[in-house]
Structures are given as structure tokens and as C-alpha cells.
Amino acid sequence: MVSSQTVDSVLAMSKIIWVAVLTLWASAAQADEIDVTATPVPLNPADPQQTRVDSLEYVAGLELTSPAPEWGGYSGMFMDDDGGSIVAVSDVGHELGLDLRHDSDGKLTGVGTAHIFPLLDESGKAISGKEWSDAEAIAVAPRQAAVFVAFERNHRLWRYPIIIDADEVPAQAVETPPDIGALPGNAGIEGLLVDEQGGMVLLAESGDQNGAGRGWVKNGQEWQSFSIERSDGFEPTDIAAFGDSSLVLLERRYNEKDGPAARISLLPHTFDGSPVAGYTLAVLRLPLSVDNFEAIATRAAPGGGRFIYLLSDNNQNPQQRTLLLQFRLPSPEIGTP
């Protein structure tokens, strides 16, 4: 069994002030500042007055665009406690540091300075080639001065030390469960949480032989597996801490009949080996503003409740969009497993 203390230490990571992460990485010689334009989007373009979907209130949404040739493909993100900035990882081998703007009520209103910097390999050189650059998840551990990135195709977990003004910040390999290497090439680790004591939670996109979602938790030196119940064709794409008692799961689905869809659910903070069932907070489907959502982050909302942010992966495809949506769950206790 995974103890609540272990997972609580993962959740507590989100409370640590880590703005220095962006400051230090953006100062590195290889970081480039880019222009990003943010255009407001309604929850429902067919009914702009709609402000709720299931249990979630729609707060704000932005379509993000940039002329930078590297732009797009964002498959995971980490947000600081006050929502002032995010670090997002791209499946084409770079990271994005993006400042966010909110009003006094915490509503997302725009973006500020943006930097991109290449992900480096174990020799300190920029990653190249899809087989090596397909980053899917990111976690930040400020007290370790480290950023962790999970990759698929060549399935692996790399650790990056944060070094001021470093020209080269080489990756360091992190031990993973042995069976991760056997995951399908384009369906590897999508969710990642790391605590300051070395504990980790990993979640794969691909299911096991019974169709359940696959996950692993590390306690000390040992990895333990767990499974998540899956339904309606949804596949996991990210997880994040949700307050002190839960995790929040992001899943996606696509078919030609219904188009894209996303599901947001709460998971318990303990795993005992039996399949874990999520509590659905909301399902986004057309005609709502929905795309290929692959990244999720949360933070406390002023006045109570929690904000939930979703970021989509546009696959660097002009037919898709990079959307950053903000929701609010008025009472975190609603439906907590």
C-alpha cells in the first residue's frame, strides 16, 4: 500500500515557492525570448454566455500563438503557487517559460514574457530527432534544485539540475520501473509527480492487458504498480496535485464522429493495489472550446475552491490550437474520493 504520508509529500511540493526556477533557466545562454499572443476564447463559441460545465465554473480561456518556429506541442506543465508563471514541456524537445497575468480575483487575463530553451541530452547537447525529443511530462522539485522530464518513444525519465547562467545543463538518467521500457512507443509516461524526498508518481497513457490505466508509485527505493479504471474511450494525459487530499487526472479522447473530448477527474491520494476509480468533475466536448488537452495544473483560488488550468498540444499542426483554459471548482470537497 502507498501511504498517505508519501503521496502527501508529493502534494506538498506544489506549496513551495519556485519562481527561481524560471528566473535561473531563463538566464541561461541558450534561452530565447519569443513573442506570444493571447486571444480570449469563450467556453462555448455557440453560446458565449455559458460559464459552467458539470461541476466546474469557466473562468477564462486564451488561444496562444507565436511566430517562433519551435512553438507548440506542449504536453505537460508545472505552475507556481500564485499562477504567475508556468513551465511547459514540448514533445519537440524544448521547454517554455511563460509569465501569466491575472486580475485581483485570480482570473486569467493574458500572458507576459515568454522564453524557450532546448532540452539537453546526457552530454549537454540539444536533443534532436522525434525518437529522443518526445517529452510528455514535467515536474519541478525546488529543494532539490531539479526539474524532471518524462519522455516516450525512447521511454525514460531525466533529471535536470538548475544552474545559474549555465551554457550546458546535461540530463541525468533516473531509475524507472523495469516494465516502462515495454510500453508502446507513442503511449508512454504522460503524468509525473515528484516529491522532495525522492518519491514519484508515474502514469502511462497505454493500458494493461485488461484495459486499465497503468501507474507506478515509488516509496524509498521500491516501485509499486497501481491501476486506474478507464471508460468511454478516454486515455490519461496528465496528473497534478489537487490540494492536500487528492490528485486530479486529465484524460483525452478523439474519434471521427464526436471529435476531441477531455475529462477531468479526482483521484484518491492512496493506492492499495486495487483499480482506482476517478470521480468525474467535468467532460469537455464539442461545441465547447476543446482541443488535444495534455497538460493540467491547479492552485488555490482566492475566496476558496481551486483553479484548474488545461493546456493543449497543437502537434505543431495549423488545424489545431494551443489553448490555455482556466476553471474553478467552488468547493474542493465536492466528490473528493
What is the amino acid identity at position 309? Y
* pLDDT tens figures, 72-95: 999 999 998 889 999 999 999 999
| Cis preceding linkage at 177, omega within 30 | no
User: CA 61, CA 107: separation in Å to the nearest integer?
Assistant: 10
> What Cα–Cα distance (Å) separates residue 40 from each residue in 18, 57, 64, 243?
28, 16, 9, 28
- Lateral strand order in the sheet of 235-242: 235-242, 246-255, 259-268, 279-285
State residue 250's pLDDT score.
96
> HSE of 177 in the Cβ direction (CA atoms, 13 Å)?
23
Long-range contacts of 175-179 (CB under 8 A, 24+ apart): 176/202, 176/216, 176/223, 177/202, 177/216, 177/223, 177/225, 179/225
Rounded-to-integer distance, Cα 289 and Cα 324, Å: 10
The pLDDT tens digits of the residues spanning 131-160 come to: 899 999 999 887 777 889 999 999 999 998
Q: Looking at per-residue confidence, does 56 or 27 come out higher?
A: 56
Domains of the chain, earliest start first: 4-329 (2.120.10)
Total-model pTM: 0.89
